[in-house]
């Protein structure tokens, strides 16, 4: 994605796509304004004609039809200007939302650890809506104001330059008012949007953690905390409302002051015969046409200040460069992946300021081999697994697939060939069938049933009233921990991946169910490279190779029998687990 130094430049890149709509809308605004400006002039002429020639049906009809015609044409162009410019803003909003969402999909896991979901949701909804106002209503009302002033003020000057000068005395005051209040609105609205992100994040965390809140009887405490945040949000909005409440009346006073001065001096000029009654009437109608544009200046300023504050917040996210992406310099390999994996002198840390998570890992895994990883919590097992699908990125040349550096393989190709059951199981708010078939373009019912059977989930599903059409609820809340894990396993199996990764995927099932699943999985894992992370020896004992990790290093490796004969960390862990099982059984 092209990077833009400022939010305005970024937004302009979207407007360029709809430049002809913008031009057409501008023409419609100009035409609508021009025909509406014709009406006061015609009213003035009608008054003078009636005064000079008397009241006749012919004069009234002629002027009436001209006024109706001009108003009708102005209304038609007004319709098209709104259809064109407001539709344009909706199209730009559509593009912005799609690109913002697509950009979020490309950002690394670390980004989501550093940024709250509620904050990102606020930027994608509230902030995006405020940005849309810049490229829609703000442009339309801004152009209306500019064109009306450019057309009307010269006409008013031609009618009476003295009255026009009186009007222009108040204009600098209005401009100063707009400038000062606009700055204040921008600062306050930016703070309001930031605080709205805090509220959104708090609500999102509470909804996701509703079970914990209820388990600890903290409902009332959380309600009170949210009430305080909500009150602060209301107070900040009320401060902005108070500012806006002063802004508009002050502008109307300045405009009204000019109107009163014109009415007094213009009435005097008409009485002295320096201008006709029709001219005075036209001048006042033109003045009335300027009142809304002058007030609209304040409205447009409000929209622009709010929009630019939100644009800045969205642009901050869009400027973050995805650290994990396809290489632009190295040759990309689109060939078939066989499943060979090599970790070569691998050392990994999450950032320069954090300690090493993995140290001097050297391991070659042949295609079709089953390799298990076991070790204490925090020994680096999950981190090592995340390096294979490039959810985390190791230094160049440290992770290889089929003998090629992993960065030479397109991300789409790499991840399509990997079935990954993560340590934290996530299910979507869809049916069981849709969750199992996630990521598969075409899936038949027998495929889904077969994957569920291998994962040991078929009996559970058949016991549900709607079976595979059962909705699992948000994040799989209606399923047990073991059922969620088995659904995730089925989701990985149905892909028929070249590389299967099971990261502590059987921790929530009992040993009997585990053995049943593993016996089914053995047939699936034949011919596929399988990486299994577990804490229980029973899960890994049949693997072709077992690696014991401790403090980021592989301290032992071998088969179950070899490691038992060695009598090291693995054998100690096995003895402890046997003792725990005996104590649990007694």
- Residue-by-residue DSSP string for 195-260: HHHHHHHHHHHHHHTHHHHHHTT-HHHHHHHHHHHHHHHHHHHHHHHHHHHHHHHHHHHHHHHHHH
Q: Which residues pair with 371 in a beta bridge?
A: 531, 545
Q: Return d(Cα 92, Cα 565) in angstroms, integer.
A: 67
pLDDT at 381: 85
Total Cβ atoms within 10 A of residue 311: 22
Q: Edge-to-edge strand order for the sheet containing 358-365? A: 358-365, 341-348, 399-401, 404-405
DSSP three-state, residue 359: strand
Cα 411 to chain centroid distance, Å, stands at: 22
Q: Which residues pair with 401 in a beta bridge?
A: 341, 404
Domains of the chain: 7-318 (1.20.1560.10), 335-417+501-586 (3.40.50.300), 425-496 (3.40.50.300)
Q: How many residues does the chain have?
A: 586
Q: Which two three-digit tokens encode residue 106?
A: 């490309």
DSSP three-state, residue 360: strand
Q: Return d(Cα 493, Cα 520) in angstroms, integer.
A: 11
With CA atoms as reference, report the closest residue to 178 among 302, 8, 306: 302
Global pTM value: 0.70
- Cα torsion angle, 283, 286, 287, 288, sign: positive
Q: Are strands 341-348 and 399-401 parallel, antiparallel or unpaired?
A: antiparallel
Task: Tell me the C-alpha to C-alpha distance, in Å, between residue 426 and each of 168, 169, 422, 471.
Answer: 65, 66, 8, 14
Dihedral-angle region of residue 419 (phi above 0 means left; psi in -120 to 50 means alpha; beta otherwise): beta
With CA atoms as reference, report the closest residue to 190 among 260, 249, 239: 239
pLDDT tens per residue, range 189-198: 767 777 777 7
Dihedral-angle region of residue 527 (phi above 0 means left; psi in -120 to 50 means alpha; beta otherwise): left
Compute φ and ψ for 549, nearest 5 degrees. -105, 145
pLDDT at 172: 65
Angle between helix axes 128-135 and 7-15 (nearest 10 degrees) is 60
Q: Which residues pair with 546 in a beta bridge?
A: 372, 558
- Cα torsion angle, 428, 432, 436, 442, sign: negative
Q: Which residues of the chain have pLDDT under 70?
A: 1-5, 41, 43-60, 63, 170-172, 175, 178-179, 182-183, 186, 190, 204-205, 207-219, 258, 269-270, 272-273, 280, 294-295, 298, 327-335, 473-478, 506-514, 580-586
pLDDT at 419: 84
pLDDT at 208: 65
H or E stretch covering 541: none
Q: Which residues contact 122 (CB under 8 A, 6 or more apart)?
A: 193, 196, 197, 200
Local structure of residue 127 (DSSP, 8 states)? I
Q: Is 59 exposed, middle or buried (0-12, 13-18, 19+ CB in 10 A)?
A: middle
pLDDT at 65: 77
Q: Are strands 399-401 and 553-558 parallel, antiparallel or unpaired?
A: unpaired
């Amino acid at each position: 994605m092209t990077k833009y130094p400022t939010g305005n430049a970024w937004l302009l890149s979207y407007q360029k796509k709809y430049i002809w709509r913008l031009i057409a809308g501008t023409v419609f605004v100009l035409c609508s304004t021009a025909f509406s400006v014709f009406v006061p002039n015609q009213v003035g002429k009608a008054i003078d004609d009636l005064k000079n020639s008397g009241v006749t049906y012919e004069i009234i009809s002629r002027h009436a039809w001209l006024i109706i015609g001009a108003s009708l044409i102005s209304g038609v162009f007004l319709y098209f200007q709104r259809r064109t410019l407001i539709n344009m803003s909706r199209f730009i909003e559509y593009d912005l939302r799609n690109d913002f969402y697509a950009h979020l999909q490309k950002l690394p896991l670390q980004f989501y650890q550093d940024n709250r979901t509620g904050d990102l949701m606020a930027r994608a909804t509230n902030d995006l809506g405020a940005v849309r106002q810049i490229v829609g209503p703000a442009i339309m009302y801004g152009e209306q104001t500019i064109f009306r002033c450019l057309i009307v003020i010269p006409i008013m000057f031609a009618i009476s330059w003295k009255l026009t000068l009186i009007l222009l005395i108040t204009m600098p005051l209005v401009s100063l008012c707009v400038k000062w209040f606009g700055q204040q609105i921008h600062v306050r609205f930016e703070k309001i949007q930031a605080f709205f992100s805090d509220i959104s994040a708090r609500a999102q965390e509470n909804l996701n953690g509703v079970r914990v809140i209820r388990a600890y009887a903290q409902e009332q405490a959380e309600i009170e905390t949210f009430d305080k945040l909500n009150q602060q949000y209301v107070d900040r909005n009320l401060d902005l409302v108070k500012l806006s409440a002063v802004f508009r009346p002050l502008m109307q006073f300045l405009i009204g002051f000019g109107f009163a001065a014109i009415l007094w001096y213009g009435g005097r000029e008409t009485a002295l015969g320096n201008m006709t009654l029709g001219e005075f009437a036209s001048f006042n109608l033109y003045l009335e046409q300027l009142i809304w544009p002058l007030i609209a200046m304040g409205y447009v300023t409000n929209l622009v200040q709010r929009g630019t504050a939100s644009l800045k917040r969205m642009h901050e996210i869009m400027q973050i460069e995805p650290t994990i992406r396809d290489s632009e310099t190295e040759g990309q390999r689109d060939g078939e992946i066989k499943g060979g994996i090599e970790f070569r002198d691998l050392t990994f840390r999450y950032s320069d300021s954090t300690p090493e998570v993995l140290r001097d890992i050297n391991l070659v895994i042949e295609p079709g081999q089953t390799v298990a990883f076991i070790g204490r919590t925090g020994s680096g097992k999950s981190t090592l697994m995340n390096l294979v699908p490039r959810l985390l990125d190791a230094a160049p040349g440290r992770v290889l697939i089929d003998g090629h550096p992993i960065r030479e393989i397109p991300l789409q190709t790499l991840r399509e060939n990997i079935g990954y059951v993560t340590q934290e199981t996530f299910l979507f708010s869809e049916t069981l069938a849709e969750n199992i078939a996630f990521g598969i373009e075409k899936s038949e019912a027998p495929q889904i049933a077969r994957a569920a059977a291998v994962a040991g989930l078929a009996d559970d599903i058949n016991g549900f009233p709607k079976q595979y059409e059962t909705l699992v609820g948000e994040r799989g809340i209606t399923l047990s921990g073991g059922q969620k894990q088995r659904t995730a396993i089925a989701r990985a199996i149905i892909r028929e991946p070249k590389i299967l990764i099971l990261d502590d995927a059987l921790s929530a099932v009992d040993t009997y169910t585990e053995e049943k699943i593993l016996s089914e999985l053995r047939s699936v894992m034949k011919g596929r490279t399988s990486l299994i992370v577990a804490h229980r020896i029973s899960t890994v004992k049949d693997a072709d190779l077992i690696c014991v990790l401790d403090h980021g290093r592989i301290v032992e490796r071998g088969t179950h029998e070899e490691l038992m004969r060695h009598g090291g960390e693995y054998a100690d862990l096995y003895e402890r687990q046997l003792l725990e099982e005996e104590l649990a059984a007694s």
